[in-house]
Amino acid sequence: MRHLMSPLDFSVDELDRLLDLANDIETHPQKYAHSCEGKKLATCFYEPSTRTRLSFEAAMLNLGGSVLGFSSADSSSASKGESVSDTIRVISCYADICAMRHPKEGAPLVASQKSRIPVINAGDGGHEHPTQTLTDLLTIRSLKGSLSGLTVGLCGDLKFGRTVHSLINALIRYPDIRFVLISPEELRIPSYLREDVLKANHISFAEMERLEDAIPELDLLYMTRVQRERFFNEEDYIRLKDFYILTKEKLDLAKKDMLVLHPLPRVNEISVEVDDDPRAAYFRQAQYGVYVRMALILTLLEIHVA
Ligand code: NCD
């Protein structure tokens, strides 16, 4: 039985197959419409979510399966003091697969160790968000044609943004990837990523503060929200929240085929006037999130559709 805690849990070949499957699902949805009949997905969300939870639910429903779960810690027995280990042992009796989001780093991993069903990390604190990364990889591969040879700008809250951490881990395995890390001094990537991931693997990267300086050379700009819920005090958040706003003027400095991605939710960091630009791909990205989660559910449940 396999779980998904980090994008690195899949080899590059396995990821290729998963993305191929997601593309096939996109083109032939009918072929998969009954593939999970009789199967149940539990969504255990101890932290707010719109896209991740609903796209998981839509994915399972599209496959002909059903869903159950909770969408906040308050409405689960966590509020009575139950541990994730106990909760997952019980969920294992009710469902065939579980997607779990938790504010504590490592909670889905702890759950997976006691689980009798595959557990998917749907975001653990400021740590990782592997299914967003699968979504990002599918979007990039589908719209750019390849996952190699790209100069990737990551902009915003690189310290607490778990989507960025997982995406860096995933992309370093493809040839000729270069990162431009754009953030205020206080929100730079954690040092373990800089030292143990980027430097240790000899990945080319630059750290910058001004988006205008970075944007002309990028093939891809991944914007992120300042992660308010991970700040120790509100004043720091208020000072940093509008540090970056991608406007039409800034986008004018970019390549004609640069992609703008964002895991969403957006707060202020992309001006709504950018939404109509053909380079803005964040709503298409959310759509890819359903196909890739369908592919993931089939893969972890070891269901093969001929
Ligand atoms: C992200 C998350 O939860 O980390 N959202 C998502 O799953 N699409 C990004 C964010 O909340 O900023």
User: Is residue 156 within 8 Å of residue 237, measured between CB atoms?
Assistant: no
Do the beta carbons of residue 43 and residue 56 sit within 8 Å?
yes
Task: Name residue, tokens 């689960």.
Answer: 76
Distance 145 CA to ligand 1 centre (A): 25
Query: Tokens at residue 94, please?
Result: 């009710």
71 phi, psi to nearest 5 deg = -115, 5
Phi, psi of 119 (to 5 degrees): -110, 135
210 is catalytic: no
The tens digit of pLDDT for each residue in 31-69 reads 999 999 999 999 999 999 999 999 999 999 999 999 999
Task: Tell me if the pTM is above 0.75.
Answer: yes
CB under 8 Å, gap of 24 or more: what pairs does 147-151 form? 147/171, 147/174, 147/177, 148/174, 148/175, 148/176, 148/177, 149/175, 149/176, 149/177, 150/176, 150/177, 150/178, 150/219, 150/220, 151/178, 151/179, 151/180, 151/217, 151/218, 151/219, 151/220
How far is ligand 1, taken at its centre, from the CA of residue 123, in Å?
A: 8
Work out the average pLDDT over 274-296: 98
Q: What share of the chain is helix, strand, coil (3-state, %, to 5)?
A: 45, 15, 35
Q: Which of 120, 132, 157 to mutate to test the pocket of ligand 1 (most atoms within 8 A of CB)?
A: 132
> If you measure from the C-alpha of residue 286 to the centroid of ligand 1, how many angstroms do you get, rounded to a whole number?
11
List the catalytic residue out of 127, 129, 159, 262.
Answer: 129
Task: Provide the pLDDT for residue 167.
Answer: 98
Q: Is 280's pLDDT higher than 90?
A: yes
Q: Which of 40, 53, 101, 262 is catalytic?
A: 101
* Residues 6+ away with beta carbon under 8 Å from 248: 271, 273, 274, 277
Question: How many angstroms separate the alpha carbon of residue 131 from the centre of ligand 1?
Answer: 10
CA distances from 161 to 55, 166, 226 (A): 20, 9, 8
Segment 99-111, tens digit of pLDDT: 999 999 999 999 9
Q: Is the pLDDT of residue 76 over 90?
A: no
In ligand 1, the atom with minimum distance to the C-alpha of 225 is 12
User: Using alpha carbons only, how large is the chain's radius of gyration in Å?
Assistant: 19
pLDDT, averaged across the chain? 97
User: How far apart are the C-alpha atoms of 18 and 295, rounded to whole Å?
Assistant: 6
Report percent pLDDT > 70 for the chain: 100
Whether the ω angle into residue 118 lies within 30 degrees of 0, i.e. cis, is no
- Give the integer Cα–Cα distance in Å for 19 and 5: 18
| CB-CB contact of 224 with 262 (8 Å) | yes
- For residue 79, the model assigns a pLDDT of 85
In angstroms, what is the span from residue 305 Cα to ligand 1's centroid?
Answer: 31
Q: How far apart are CA 221 and CA 224, in angstroms?
A: 10
The protein residue whose alpha carbon is closest to atom 11 in ligand 1 is 265
Q: Is the pLDDT of residue 273 over 90?
A: yes
Residue 229 — pLDDT band, cuts 50, 70, 90? Answer: very high
On the question of pLDDT at 75 being above 90, the answer is: no
The closest residue, in CA terms, to atom 7 on ligand 1 is 52
pLDDT above 90 covers what percent of the chain? 97
Q: Reduce the DSSP state of residue 66 to 3 states and report it.
A: strand
- Ligand 1 site residues, Cβ closer than 6 angstroms: 51-52, 123, 129, 132, 162-163, 225, 263-265
Q: Identify whether 101 is a catalytic site residue.
A: yes
- Tokens encoding 293: 């989660």
